[in-house]
Amino acid sequence: MIGSLRGEIVERHLDGTVLLEVGGVGYLVTVSQRAIPELEPGSSAFLLIHHHIREDAQTLFGFTSGEDRSTFQTLIATHGVGPALAMSVLATHPPAALIDIVAGNDVAALQLVPKVGKKTAERLIVELKNRLSLDMLDADSGRAGGSNVADVRDALTGLGYASEEIRDVLRELPSDVDAATLLRDALKTLGAKRA
């Protein structure tokens, strides 16, 4: 089993994979869309790896933090969540935000993940409550993320934006920022789309 890789990024692809060369061997690693901008071709990188083995394929999933990897492993151990959906969840919500979403039963925030409907979101929240370390929320991380997304969603609804517009714009923006920054960025993006 491969646990980590350190080497040089040779290629970066739009499908969320990077080619990481380690000692003359190139490894194709699937990474989160949040990590892609950090992994510039020609730069050195260290990735924690989850080596996913199935009967018909072996896939390497790479993470820039241990928290991301352990959250991914928790997600794929959850009924009905495969690696693709787990990566999609992590691309939409960083681990601290996901913990906050689950702790706050924020079904709508979980629905921001592509291909996650209301029933799936509700089921995931129930199943993840027992799996995620809800005690990871401490004074440093606060209750950012999920509650900020909910606050911004409510503010945009109050301003008359359609729920589909709101869902689309919140999928594009990072959810691990404060509510004021998220609202400002959402309004800027929505304004540009309507112009």
Q: Is the pLDDT of residue 17 over 90?
A: yes
pLDDT of the residue at 83: 93
pLDDT of the residue at 7: 95
Q: Provide DSSP, 7-74.
A: EEEEEE-TTSEEEEEETTEEEEEEE-TTTGGG--TTSEEEEEEEEEE-SS-EEEEEESSHHHHHHHHH
What pLDDT digit, counting tens, does each position of 164-175 carry? 777 778 777 776
What pLDDT digit, counting tens, does each position of 124-137 carry? 998 888 777 544 44
| Mean pLDDT score across all residues of the chain | 84
pLDDT of the residue at 37: 87
pLDDT of the residue at 191: 81
Range of weakest confidence among 28-32, 90-94, 143-147: 143-147
Strand-pairing partners, residue 21, are: 8, 26
pLDDT of the residue at 140: 39
Q: Is the pLDDT of residue 97 over 60?
A: yes
Q: How far apart are the C-alpha atoms of 138 and 96, rounded to whole Å?
A: 10
Q: Provide DSSP, 58-124.
A: EEEEEESSHHHHHHHHHHHTSTT--HHHHHHHHHHS-HHHHHHHHHTT-HHHHTTSTT--HHHHHHH
The arithmetic mean of pLDDT across residues 45-62, rounded, is: 93
Q: Is the pLDDT of residue 22 over 90?
A: yes
Q: How far apart are the C-alpha atoms of 10 and 167, rounded to whole Å?
A: 35
The H or E element spanning position 6 is: strand 4-12
CA distances from 40 to 4, 20, 26, 105 (A): 18, 11, 15, 37
Q: How far apart are the C-alpha atoms of 52 and 2, rounded to whole Å?
A: 10
What pLDDT digit, counting tens, does each position of 100-154 carry? 888 888 888 889 988 889 999 999 998 888 777 544 443 334 444 456 777 777 7
- Whole-model pTM? 0.69
Q: Is the pLDDT of residue 181 over 80?
A: yes
